[in-house]
Amino acid sequence: MQRTEDGGIVISCDFCGTDWDEVRPMIEGHHGSVICLDCLKLAVVQAAPAEGKYSCPLCLRDNIPATLPRWSHPSHPNAIACEECIHQAARAFHKDPDVDWKWERKKK
């Protein structure tokens, strides 16, 4: 998400709340929503189905079925990423030559 501070725009991760320092890799979703690599690393491992429908700030979808796995950071449980956005971000980080991380897809 973005906020204005001292006349400048500060970008922070929607999930862990960390401000972007222009070094930390981040992926932008819709409407300025952002997920950082640290969150994404957790999300690809921890995403799981849970109770109830939810909405995702990255793709701005509402009423996402409970069966689609989701992930949220313990410090911001109201910001929930859907699995499709997690996978999309994982692919983007995976392909980025500046990011020292490779996505190892879970074998089912």
Q: Is 82 in the site for Zn ion (CB under 5 A)?
A: yes
Position among 1, 42, 59, 68 found at the interface with Zn ion (CB under 5 A): 59
User: Nearer Cβ to Zn ion, position 27 or 58?
Assistant: 58
Query: Judged by CB under 5 A, which stretch of 32-40, 47-55, 89-97, 98-106 contacts Zn ion?
Result: 32-40
Give the separation between CA 31 and CA 1, rounded to whole angstroms.
8
Q: Is 44 in the site for Zn ion (CB under 5 A)?
A: no
Residues in the chain: 108
Provide, rounded to whole angstroms, the least separation between the CB of residue 26 and Zn ion.
Answer: 8
* Closest-CA residue to 42 (of 3, 13, 11, 68): 13
- Residue found under tokens 């001292």: 6
- Residue found under tokens 């996402």: 64
